[in-house]
Structure 1
Amino acid sequence: MNAPVEALPMAEWRRVFEVNLFGHIAVTQALLPELLRTKGRVINISSIGGKYAMATYGAYAGAKFALEAVSDSLRREVAPLGVQVVVVEPGGVRTEIAARGIATANDLAARMTPEQDRRYGDLVRANNRLMASGTASGLTADAAAQVIVKAVTTRRPRPRYTAGRDAALIMRLGRLLSDRTLDRILAANLRRHYPKGAIA
């Protein structure tokens, strides 16, 4: 659900958080007594967007940032009780999510006011192109599943696993560069996807 912060209706913000945050919490609460009894493991599927948010990804990234925080808190609560909590942070994965995301972004863009379209229309179109190209060149679903298998089966798992070269690269850059420098790099990457003649 990608749309500019200004243009995304509040009901859609709530829906994104219901699916990407509150759903995780509800399942965790329901299963935690058994996980505590069996010394089980919680694997939360986050996203590279849970650490670094791109333009128009505010709702999705916001929910994933929150999931990262909840996972950290839960890990520190239940580690002394024998339960491990692991976060998997994929980048682009070749699934149907991009096509559905682009269709939803186009639907949301069609509902923007004329002023919002002037401000953000080219940005939305550029992000759609970037999403399509990033997914096409992304990790296969099988490769992403192998990272999840590792998180599930490793005896002493790390708190976080990235999945995909793009995720690993952005994580490294994010640790090394200032926010402004990272903003410029992300903007330059996005600029290549703007419609011809558009001002990025």
Structure 2
Amino acid sequence: MSPTGDWDFAWDMALVQCESLLLYCAVSAVFMGSALHKLIRNKVKIEHACVCGLLSLLIVALVCFYLLSRSIGLTIFILSCITYYISIPVRDLLPTKDKAVLITGCDSGLGHALAKHLDELGVLVFASVLDKKGQGAEELRRICSSRLSIIQLDVTDSEQIKAACSEIKGRLQGEGLWGIVHNAGVIGYIADGELLPISLYKQCMDVNFFGAAHVTKTFLPLLRKAKGRLICISSMAGHVPIPRLAAYAASKAALTMYCAVMRQDLIKWGVKVAAVHPSGFKTNIYDSHENLSSQNRNILDSLMPDVKEDYGEEYLETFKDLHHEMFATSSSDLTPVLEDVCHALLARNPHFSYTPGRFAHFIPCLFRNFPLWVYDHFAKKIFQIHRNILPRSLQLSQTKNWRS
């Protein structure tokens, strides 16, 4: 072939490549515009937009462009874009009329805010509290509409659970219960797992897991009747290890797995199950200073002498203010959690898992997809919110090593 022929062939190939590139760019522009419009219209969060899906589309585009013929490559790329577009969740909420929802732990914090929010939306709210005459219950009576009912319910008390079920069943007058939101929870005390008494492990399990399981079991006939929603407020600590939260994290992990299994068990009944895994938010799960001081003294008194000697008083004293430091670094805006719970309750196609809050999506992703040493490095940076003091015996060991 002559040099002129080679040049013409190369020019023709370049034109074909440019045409293909323009076609891919046109398809990408149409797709991105449509996808962005759908994301904004439905207020889809970035984690729900599936960043991994976008990266996969980019890889598909490169493979199709460089390795496949124009017709086959474009067809595969267009089908991939359509599939991704269809997978974007639609914010299609059900009407709130005649929807009855039970929320546990409404004395304060998230449950209190959620009861108000759902009442404003027109939901028939059964707000369960530990004290019907308490400040939180009185505020709900004063602020909310007559639709909201205050229910006495300690989730660790089987008699109160039965009584609450009987009361709600009577008020529903033969109708089903649309939703249960398991919000009641305790964090216990934040300290090394070895230092926590077994009684605290039991308390966390009783409230955070067994209480939710007991309430669910009792109310499920009403929930199945309405083909409603079961929502568990778990925690980011329920599926990633967070230092010094052994008791709390274990109970939330149990709740998370319970929720996952119940989702499978209840599919046949038309009941949809969702777990919400918030990161740090300012709620009353962090106890008062007086109660924390009392717990600190009880923990110190319960330790064996050799354990207390190994850790040392200086190390043990650092936990006194740890709850307040965690509270101070938490977000005071509960809106992300409220929106996710409402979506789980009212969306036609709710997600199974929600991760509202700062780092709530990033940290689990880091834990699942990277080597443990990477996660440990970031966890140390993110969760190290008090002075980095070693236990006494480790300090002595380090001192000996330095001297030697």
Tell me the TM-score normalised to structure 2 length. 0.44
CA spacing shift, 1:70–1:62, aligned 2, 3 Å: same
Equivalent pairs counted in the alignment come to 195
Distance change in 2, residues 1:52/1:126 (3 Å): farther
1:76 pairs with 2:270: no
Q: Is the deviation greater in 110-119 or in 63-72? A: 110-119
Could you tell me how far 1:30 is from its partner in structure 2?
A: 1.0
1:162 and 2:362 equivalent? Answer: no
CA contact (8 A) 1:16 1:60 kept: yes
Q: Which residues in structure 2 correspond to 1:65-104 (within 5 Å)?
A: 65-98=253-286, 100=287
Q: Which is worse superposed, 85-94 or 168-177?
A: 168-177
Bigger mean CA offset, 113-122 vs 3-12 = 113-122
Q: Distance in 2 between matches of 1:103 and 1:57?
A: 20
Pick one of 314, 317, 328 that aligns with 1:133.
328
SS in 2 for 1:68: helix
Q: Distance in 2 between matches of 1:95 and 1:86?
A: 21
Moved over 4 A (4+): 101-106
For residues 49-95 of structure 1, the C-alpha deviation after alignment (integer angstroms, 9 at most, x for no partner) is 10112122011100000001111111111112211110011111122
Task: Check 1:164–1:39 CA distance in 2 against 1; reply closer, same or farther (3 A cut).
Answer: same
Give, as a single letter, the amino acid of the residue that structure 2 aligns with 1:118: G
Task: State how far apart, in whole Å, the 2-side matches of 1:21 and 1:192 are.
Answer: 27
**1:43 counterpart SS class:** strand
Deviation at 1:185, TM superposition (A): 1.5
RMSD over aligned Cα atoms: 2.5
Structure 2 gap ranges (5+)? 1-187, 392-404
Looking at structure 2, the residues matched to 102 and 91 of structure 1 have their Cα atoms a distance apart, in angstroms, of 22
Rounded Cα–Cα distance in structure 2 between residues aligned with 1:102 and 1:117? 23
Matches within 5 A, 1:100-179: 100=287, 106-110=293-297, 111-112=299-300, 113=303, 114-115=308-309, 117-118=311-312, 120-121=315-316, 124=319, 127-128=322-323, 130-135=325-330, 138=331, 140-179=333-372
Matched residue, 2:89 = none
Gaps of 5+ in 1: none
Q: Please state if 1:47 is matched with 2:235.
A: yes
Q: What is residue 252 of structure 2 aligned with on the other side?
A: 64
TM-score (norm 1): 0.85
Q: For the structure 1 residues 103 and 146, does the alpha-carbon distance in structure 2 shift closer, same or farther, using more than 3 Å as the test?
A: farther
1:142 aligned partner, one-letter code: T
- Retained in 2: the 8 A contact 1:125–1:194? no
**Structure with bigger gyration radius:** 2
The Cα of 1:36 is off from its aligned counterpart by 1.3
What is the CA–CA distance in structure 1 between the aligned matches of 2:209 and 2:291, rounded to whole Å?
A: 20
Give the counterpart letter for 1:33 in structure 2.
P
Contact 1:46 1:89 (C-alpha < 8 Å) held by counterparts: yes
Q: Residues 55, 123 of structure 1: CA spacing in aligned structure 2 closer, same or farther, 3 A cutoff? A: farther
Deviation at 1:144, TM superposition (A): 1.8
CA shift in 2, pair 1:22/1:54, >3 Å: same
Partners of 1:13 and 1:59 within 8 A in 2: yes
Q: Which moved more, 1:15-24 or 1:118-127?
A: 118-127
User: 1:109 & 1:134 partners in 2: Cα distance?
Assistant: 21
Give the Cα separation in 1 of the matches to 2:332 and 2:353: 18
- 2:200 corresponds to which residue? 12
Q: CA deviation at 1:175?
A: 2.6
Given that 1:129 and 1:193 are in contact with CA atoms closer than 8 Å, whether structure 2 keeps it comes out as: no
